[in-house]
Amino acid sequence: MSSEIRIITLPKIEDYRGNLSFIEEENHIPFKIRRVYWIYDVPGGEFRGSHAFKETCEFIVALSGSFDVVLNNGVREFKFNLNRSYFGVYVPQMIWRKLENFSTNSLALIMASTEYDESDYIRELSEFKAFLQR
Ligand code: TYD
């Protein structure tokens, strides 16, 4: 698995009937997909996330609408505005991540490398910083 935060552009099959994009695990994204979840109906001004994962890597796509993904690796902050369904951001493990600035009717699709496990979360920023010092 790659440890580098990056935007990944997905295949886009353009067609007069409508466009088509797709994702293949371990091909377009550098991990096997163990879980897919999505965030929707986010009220104006709300944010999601604001935590890190010890093991989980994720790939986040705005299937509809737009939102910002704010990432921090303990050294610097990265901010990506996701607003198209043919690209997304790869988030390696041990990155503080927050999703914010959701537009009306936005839909965030998230592919994860692990099944849901609350013990993989780091929910306190101070704990995240302490982990990075190790
Ligand atoms: P959480 O990941 O904390 O949401 P966010 O970081 O976007 O605010 O998840 C919110 C709740 O949903 C939490 O109680 C755990 C539960 N949950 C699952 O049961 N399975 C999942 O795959 C995810 C992502 C969350």
Q: What is the pLDDT of residues 77-124, one digit of tens each?
A: 999 999 999 999 999 999 999 999 999 999 999 999 999 999 999 999
Ligand 1 proximal residues by C-beta, below 6 Å: 35, 37, 39, 48-49, 51, 116
Continuous H helices in the chain: 125-133
Mutate to test the pocket of ligand 1, among 116, 118, 119, 123 (most ligand atoms within 8 A of CB): 116
Contacts of 51 (CB under 8 A, 6+ apart): 96, 97, 121, 122, 123
* 51 part of the active site: yes
5 token code pair: 């935060």
Q: Which residue's alpha carbon is at the smallest distance from atom 23 of ligand 1?
A: 116
Q: Which of 67, 66, 62, 34 is nearest to 48 (CA)?
A: 67
pLDDT in tens, 64-80: 999 999 999 999 999 99
pLDDT of the residue at 3: 83
pTM for the predicted model, two decimal places: 0.97
Residue 1 has pLDDT above 70, yes or no: no
If you write DSSP's letter for every residue of 105-129 in order, what string do you get? T-EEEEEESS---GGGEE--HHHHH
